[in-house]
């Protein structure tokens, strides 16, 4: 399987590419890989900024539904988002395609040049009868 969170360096920028096909669901292994990649980039003195992108046709299309109703595995959505928000270097999300639930929440980290395809946003867990992913409803309402 491909690396869930690959890191490429372009000058002083770390490009963290999240890759969890088919829709880049933000499952616990992807959250852990993203956290690790972000921590490595933050620790590297030559890196001045971090860009988060996703492989494939969609950005993060929400939580992994197989995790709903189960105990939260770390790092949680809250832990990952809090780390990004408190980072000592700028972290920007390059959102493309569909961004749902937890992916929708990444909009708070800014947007940069998206591909020509239109972006679609949504926070389905906050308006449906299903249990939303932890942290998503509060942040979607912010």
Q: What is the pLDDT of residue 69?
A: 86
User: Is domain 5-141 annotated with CATH 3.90.226.10?
Assistant: yes
Alpha-helical segments (H) within 22-71: 28-43
Q: What pTM was computed for the model?
A: 0.79
The residue ranking higher by pLDDT, 109 or 92, is 92
Range with the lowest mean pLDDT among 1-10, 19-28, 55-64, 102-111? Answer: 102-111
31 in Cβ contact with 37 (< 8 Å): no
Collapsing DSSP states into helix, strand and coil, what is residue 57?
coil
Please write the tens of the pLDDT for every residue from 60-71.
888 888 888 899
Residue 61: CB partners within 8 Å, gap ≥ 6? 23, 24, 25, 98, 99, 100, 101, 103
Q: Percent of the chain having pLDDT more than 70?
A: 75
């Amino acid at each position: 399987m491909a690396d869930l969170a690959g890191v490429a360096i372009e000058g002083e920028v770390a490009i963290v590419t999240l890759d969890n096909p088919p829709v880049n669901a933000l499952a616990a292994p992807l959250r852990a890989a993203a956290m690790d990649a972000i921590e490595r980039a933050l620790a590297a003195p030559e890196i001045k900024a971090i860009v988060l992108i996703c492989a494939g046709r969609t950005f993060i299309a929400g939580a992994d539904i197989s995790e709903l109703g189960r105990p939260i595995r770390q790092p949680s959505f809250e832990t990952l988002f809090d780390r990004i928000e408190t980072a000592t270097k700028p972290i920007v999300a390059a959102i493309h395609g569909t961004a749902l639930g937890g992916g929708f929440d990444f909009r708070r980290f800014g947007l940069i040049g998206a591909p020509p395809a239109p972006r679609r946003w949504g926070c389905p867990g906050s308006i449906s009868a299903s249990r939303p992913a932890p942290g998503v409803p509060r942040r979607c309402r912010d």
